[in-house]
């Protein structure tokens, strides 16, 4: 097993990785910006290295600074968490060249699946359903409009080499295509330094369902079930649960089978997520693969009983999976609410100083957070400050525990989205499982 792991991230995911490492007897190093000097994950790690000022491109996105920190602390592996460097193939490649294990798939696999068009074409070649779309990136507006007319509106414009909802535009008619096309290219260029986009038929009011997979370096691949991720705002997930409410066993078996088939075809290793859209008729379509740990991984941990961060570490160290698919048993239902430092009505960021904090607890309640009394929520980073995860024998009990946990959660000094989740948990459509990716816009 690794002797020392450097964590190239911050906040709750950094703390989550520290906990897994401590339980495995692995020493930890965290890199941090100047504004995070007093952060909880920095205080709890065995070693810390300040790598720059608050701006991400001068600290958490600075490859040379991170690798220098790993070398001076003799770290033999780096865990990227999610976001920042987690899906950067150049970073993964640089780690390997320095003799440091990148905890995730190989650089060429990250590069392959990070190209949404290539990933889509691989899925298509395997017979995995995909929505009608362009076979290659399109840079010219005239050609783009011609293709959109060919497959029929509405269409969605997506970044060829990125994700996370950035550069994504839904277009309902030719008259609005030009503005959306150029806006998508501009956002894509700013986010990924590449303005190439592709066009896909837009699936109206779909559900967003993803399959968690896990693979070792010896050819063994399994899945850990699916997650419902349809409640989103601007293509960013807010609430996830497992298993998916209302998903029939036949569709579940087909989804998980094609997910495993896809990742085996590219010799994938470590953990990853294959994402699908389900239309109103129950048909599913591959959309992308994320080559990292997901924000919402705790709901899978709660229903499967498997610590996914520990598994990441063991798989990266070359260990074999110790169980077959038939050995994976799922228990109960789990739900996660992502708590962000935002105004729950206007969704504007709400950084500031925490004046009073009470974290909920009790049977079936888990909170992943790096908050502590008197800490400061910075304006420099993603506003996610906590994840509340509940587990119950069934969805009703998991929902009941989530409602109770949110009532107990006290955060004073900033605005948070806790009131939004309280309202959603009282909504009839949500309680009935009638949700899709447009649920939140209707609800609001």
User: In this predicted model, what pLDDT tens digit does every residue of 217-232 receive, in sequence order?
Assistant: 999 999 999 999 999 9
Question: Is the per-residue pLDDT at 254 higher than 90?
Answer: yes
Residue 79: CB partners within 8 Å, gap ≥ 6? 5, 6, 7, 8, 9, 17, 103, 309, 312, 313
Selected catalytic residue, list 10, 27, 111, 292? 292
Phi (first) and psi of residue 347, to 5 degrees:
60, 35
User: In this predicted model, what pLDDT tens digit does every residue of 9-42 receive, in sequence order?
Assistant: 999 999 999 999 999 999 999 999 999 999 999 9
Question: Is the per-residue pLDDT at 429 higher than 90?
Answer: yes
Fold of 207-443: D-amino Acid Aminotransferase; Chain A, domain 1 (3.30.470)
Q: 429 or 191: whose pLDDT is higher? A: 429
**3-class secondary-structure state, position 438:** coil
Average pLDDT over residues 195-206: 91
The CATH number, out of the four listed (3.40.50.20, 2.40.70.10, 3.30.1240.10, 3.60.20.40), of the domain defined by the range 4-103: 3.40.50.20
pLDDT value at residue 162 = 67
Report percent pLDDT > 70 for the chain.
99
pLDDT value at residue 191 = 73
Report percent pLDDT > 90 for the chain.
92
User: In this predicted model, what pLDDT tens digit does every residue of 315-362 receive, in sequence order?
Assistant: 999 999 999 999 999 999 999 999 999 999 999 999 999 999 999 999
58 among known catalytic residues: no
pTM of the model: 0.94
Q: How many whole angstroms separate alpha carbon 442 and alpha carbon 444?
A: 6
Fold of 132-201: Dna Ligase; domain 1 (3.30.1490)
313, 20 Cβ separation under 8 angstroms: yes
- Please state the domain extents for the chain: 4-103, 132-201, 207-443
422, 403 Cβ separation under 8 angstroms: yes
Question: Is the per-residue pLDDT at 52 higher than 90?
Answer: yes
pLDDT value at residue 300 = 98
Average pLDDT over residues 105-114: 97
């Amino acid at each position: 097993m690794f002797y020392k792991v450097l964590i190239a991230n911050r906040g709750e995911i950094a703390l989550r990785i520290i906990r897994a490492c401590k339980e495995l007897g692995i020493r930890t190093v965290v890199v941090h910006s100047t504004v995070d000097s007093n952060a909880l994950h920095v205080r709890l790690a065995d070693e810390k290295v300040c790598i720059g000022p608050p701006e991400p491109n001068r600290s958490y996105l600075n490859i040379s600074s991170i690798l220098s920190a790993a070398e001076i602390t003799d770290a033999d592996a780096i865990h990227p968490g999610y976001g920042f460097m987690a899906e950067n193939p150049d970073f993964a490649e640089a780690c390997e060249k320095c003799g440091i294990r990148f905890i995730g798939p190989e650089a060429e696999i990250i590069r392959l699946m990070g190209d949404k068009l290539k990933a889509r074409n691989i899925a298509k070649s395997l017979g995995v359903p995909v929505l009608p779309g362009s076979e290659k990136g399109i840079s010219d507006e005239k050609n783009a409009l011609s293709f959109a007319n060919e497959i029929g509106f509405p269409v969605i414009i997506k970044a060829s080499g990125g994700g996370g909802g950035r550069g994504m535009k839904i277009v309902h008619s030719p008259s609005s295509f030009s503005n959306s096309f150029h806006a998508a290219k501009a956002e894509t260029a700013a986010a990924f330094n590449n303005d190439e986009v592709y066009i896909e038929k837009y699936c109206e009011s779909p559900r967003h369902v993803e399959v968690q997979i896990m693979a070792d370096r010896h050819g063994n691949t399994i899945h850990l079930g699916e997650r419902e991720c349809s409640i989103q705002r601007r293509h960013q997930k807010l609430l996830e649960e497992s298993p998916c409410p209302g998903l029939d066993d036949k569709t579940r078996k087909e989804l998980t089978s094609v997910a495993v088939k896809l990742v085996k075809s590219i010799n994938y290793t470590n953990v990853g997520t294959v994402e699908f859209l389900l239309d109103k008729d129950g048909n599913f379509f591959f959309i992308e693969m994320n080559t990292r740990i997901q924000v919402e991984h705790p709901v899978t941990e709660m229903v499967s009983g498997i610590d996914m961060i520990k598994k990441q570490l063991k798989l990266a160290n070359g260990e074999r999976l110790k169980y077959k698919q038939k050995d994976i048993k799922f228990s109960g239902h789990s739900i996660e609410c992502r708590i962000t430092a935002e105004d729950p009505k206007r969704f504007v960021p709400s950084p500031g100083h925490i004046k009073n904090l009470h974290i909920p607890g009790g049977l079936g309640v888990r909170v992943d957070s790096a908050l502590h009394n008197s800490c400061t929520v910075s304006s420099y980073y993603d506003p996610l400050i906590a994840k509340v995860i509940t587990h119950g024998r069934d969805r009703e009990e998991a929902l009941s525990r989530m409602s109770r946990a949110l009532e107990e959660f006290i955060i004073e000094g900033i605005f948070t989205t806790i009131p939004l989740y309280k309202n959603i948990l009282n909504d009839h459509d949500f309680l009935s499982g009638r949700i899709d990716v447009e649920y939140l816009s209707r609800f609001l």
